[in-house]
Amino acid sequence: MALVKLCSRGHRNPPGAIMCGRCLEDLSRVEPVEETKILDNVEVALDDIDLSPGLEPPLTPPTIMAEEEPVIVYPDESLNFQASDGQTFAARPGEIVGRAATGSDILQNFPTVSRLHFRLGKRDLVWLVKNLSDNGTFINGQEVGLGEEKPLTPGDEISLSSKCRLMVVA
């Protein structure tokens, strides 16, 4: 039985992979699993949710979690960004945003934005930004250290350079 590593989007990778070959997600902490244990196209039904054919799971609005400062969680599978020039794009958990990644059609016009600037993540319904760039990433004016993760809320402004700002659109 063959071993594979799966990224959060379900892409199969060799057991020794440290990065997903399709979406560039970090796999360094993902344990390989037997390929025979992977079930394709299977929906897992949670208690009290009927996922019979033709029915969609109920949509839940964003929820504010009690912490030092409010963090808003999103049940959605992608997050929308609006660039300072008004153009928008969407990114999914695990995707990298930059001039050579998600949003490249918009961000390629900003030479100070890194090719791989930040990774978008999601943990327990909370969206996170992980800075991958030495050029700097700022959320609402506060710097996100290299390799550091910070949560996102609607209306947050992510500065990738002095001229490139992304607004988190709910």
pLDDT at 20: 81
pTM reported for the whole predicted model: 0.55
pLDDT at 167: 92
pLDDT in tens, the chain (170 residues): 688 888 777 778 888 998 888 778 888 888 888 875 554 444 343 444 444 444 444 444 444 454 555 555 445 578 888 988 888 988 888 888 988 888 888 888 888 888 888 999 888 778 899 999 988 899 999 999 998 999 988 889 999 988 889 999 86
For the structural domain made of 71-169, what CATH number should be given?
Answer: 2.60.200.20
Which DSSP string do the residues of 26-40 spell out, in sequence order?
B-TTPPPEEGGG--T
Phi and psi at 38, nearest 5°, equal: -90, 125
DSSP assignment letter at 54? T
Q: Domain residues of the chain, as ranges?
A: 1-47, 71-169
Task: Please list, residue by residue across 87-103, b when 16 or more beta carbons sit within 10 angstroms of its beta carbon and e when fewer do.
Answer: eebebbbbbbbbbebbb
pLDDT at 69: 52
In the three-class reduction of DSSP (H, G, I as helix; E, B as strand; rest coil), residue 139 is classed as strand
pLDDT at 54: 47
Phi and psi at 72, nearest 5°, equal: -100, 130
pLDDT at 144: 92
Q: Residue 87: what residue type? A: Q
